[in-house]
Amino acid sequence: MSINTINKVELGVFPTPIHKLARLSAHLGGPQIYIKRDDLTGLALGGNKTRKLEYLLADAVAQGCDCVITAGAAQSNHCRQTAAGAAKLGLGCHLVLGGQAPNMANGNLLLDALFGAHIHWSGEKRKGEDIPKLVNELLSQGKKPYVVPYGGSNTIGAIGFIQAYSELMSQCESSHETLDFSDIVFASSSGATHCGLVLGQHIHKGKSNIIGINIDKDEMGKDSYKCQLQALIEQSAHTLAIDYQGSIDELHLIDDYIGQGYGVVGELEREAIALCAQYEGILLDPVYTGRAMGGLIDMIRRKQFSAHSNVLFWHTGGAPAVFAYASALQNV
């Protein structure tokens, strides 16, 4: 497989802009912070999954599938973007969501329904454990389902972020003040974003530190996500014939900001959301970007970046979840 010959459908608007966060940077008194606006990818209120889905849904169409299945939490941004992409391409969409049906759908879940997705509630299991059963049901009904992995994270999804790194390089080269980022910071959770940026940087011989802020607890033991991420990178490099030899010890995955666990909003997220909103007019989300920006702000306060450097925060989307977290975000 070669990256440039892989099928793609256009679902978003690229390149996404890069903005300087002048007021927030001045407030924090550290490095100059820039932001890559993947909250503006253009598909159904945006987000990083659009990049992966351009390749994953193209694969579904190429395989002649008539519906897609994916999984996530009730407020999954991935599921919302998958539902929208499937609608655009005329594919059925089945979402296996953790938890139970609420009395009233809000945020991403409300949007899933507007895009016509079929929702299957799976209780405690929010990572697609029930997908094989659903595949069999759909096959027995004569359907041809395509399974989009949890978070859209496999080699095909990662291609979207290898290309995203190339997009960033073109923007840096063509900007009037040549941009050079010492660090690229983002929320890391199912892995294709992190994997794509690591491999993209390897291909372009870039020098930035690629720093993922881990969002979710390691439920399968210490470093289980890091091992899974390294495996995805190695698998993708192999499949795409990229000569990458990096070891797991070279990955920057920060585990310090998981707080009370996935989707639990604390003071870290509340402050980051409030600062970005009030200094920059930019919305972060309570689960991913609020936590990742909270981590970045903490690292800046701990003087982990040179005051002369440029740090890029990669906004991965998620703002529709804000409404579903209204009670946690009162009076920030």
Binding site for ligand PLP (CB under 6 A): 47-49, 77-78, 151, 153, 187-194, 285, 288-289, 316-318
Angle, CA 46 vertex, CA 40 and CA 52 arms, to 5°: 110
Q: Is 12 or 47 the residue whose CB approaches ligand PLP more closely?
A: 47
Q: How far is the CB of 29 from ligand PLP (least distance, A)?
A: 27
Q: How far is the CB of 60 from ligand PLP (least distance, A)?
A: 19
Q: Is 134 or 213 the residue whose CB approaches ligand PLP more closely?
A: 213
Peptide bond into 15 cis (omega under 30): yes
Q: Is 47 or 138 the residue whose CB approaches ligand PLP more closely?
A: 47
Q: How far is the CB of 77 from ligand PLP (least distance, A)?
A: 3
Q: Is 25 or 48 the residue whose CB approaches ligand PLP more closely?
A: 48
What CA–CA distance (Å, rounded) separates 28 from 291? Answer: 17
User: Where in the sequence numbering do the catalytic residues fall?
Assistant: 76
Q: How far is the CB of 10 from ligand PLP (least distance, A)?
A: 20
Q: How far is the CB of 71 from ligand PLP (least distance, A)?
A: 12
* Residues 48/38, Cβ–Cβ less than 8 Å: yes
Query: What are the residues whose beta carbons fall under 8 Å from the beta carbon of 146, sequence distance 6 or more?
Result: 59, 60, 63, 65, 67, 68, 69, 91
What CA–CA distance (Å, rounded) separates 83 from 61? Answer: 15
What CA–CA distance (Å, rounded) separates 228 from 234? Answer: 10
* Residues 69/146, Cβ–Cβ less than 8 Å: yes
What CA–CA distance (Å, rounded) separates 54 from 159? Answer: 10
Using the 8-state DSSP alphabet, how is residue 241 labeled?
T
